[in-house]
Amino acid sequence: MKVNIGAYPDEGEQVVEVEIHDYDTWSMDYTLAPIILPMLVQLRDTKQGVPLVDSADVPWGEGAEPLNQSAEDIAEMVKRWDYVLSAMIFSFDKLVNNPDWPLCLDGKFVTKTFHTRGEQMQLGFTLFGKYYQSLWD
């Protein structure tokens, strides 16, 4: 299957050929995770900007005032995006590298009690879906 992935002005059309096998869709989460994980890590390490993250998506954001362009608010935007990326990376890392990991509250981003591994991992996957169009650098 050939897919036109668009292009920036003056760069011409970009076409990528992708071959999908039946087994690729048997468990798409496991097929895509080894691609998504290193991309999230690279984005975290090289980000040049951050999107707006809803205050409800960070544990310390309840009742937070709207953000503006002050230095403190820009620092808060970065802190929120780092949290979201950490949650995503945590979930994809567990899926790729240790699917049988014990329930872990390591303090890196987890600030609430999870009752199951699936619930803890779902946080990162939910944020991945919500902020999918914010995965840019």
For 65-103, the pLDDT digits (tens) are 888 888 999 999 999 999 999 999 999 998 898 766 655
pTM of the model: 0.80
119 within a domain of the structure (yes/no): yes
Number of domains forming the structure of the chain: 1
> Can you give the pLDDT of all 137 residues of the chain as single tens digits?
766 666 666 666 777 788 888 888 888 888 999 999 999 999 999 999 999 999 999 999 888 888 888 899 999 999 999 999 999 999 999 889 876 665 555 545 444 555 566 788 899 999 999 999 999 98
34 within a domain of the structure (yes/no): yes
Q: Are 73 and 67 in contact (CB under 8 A)?
A: yes
21 within a domain of the structure (yes/no): no
Full domain range(s) for residue 65 = 26-134
DSSP per residue, 79-95: HHHHHHHHHHHHHHHHH
Q: Scanning the structure block, which residue is given the tokens 């950490």? A: 86
18 within a domain of the structure (yes/no): no
- The reported pLDDT for the residue numbered 8 is 64
84 within a domain of the structure (yes/no): yes
Element (H, E) at 4: strand 2-4
4 within a domain of the structure (yes/no): no
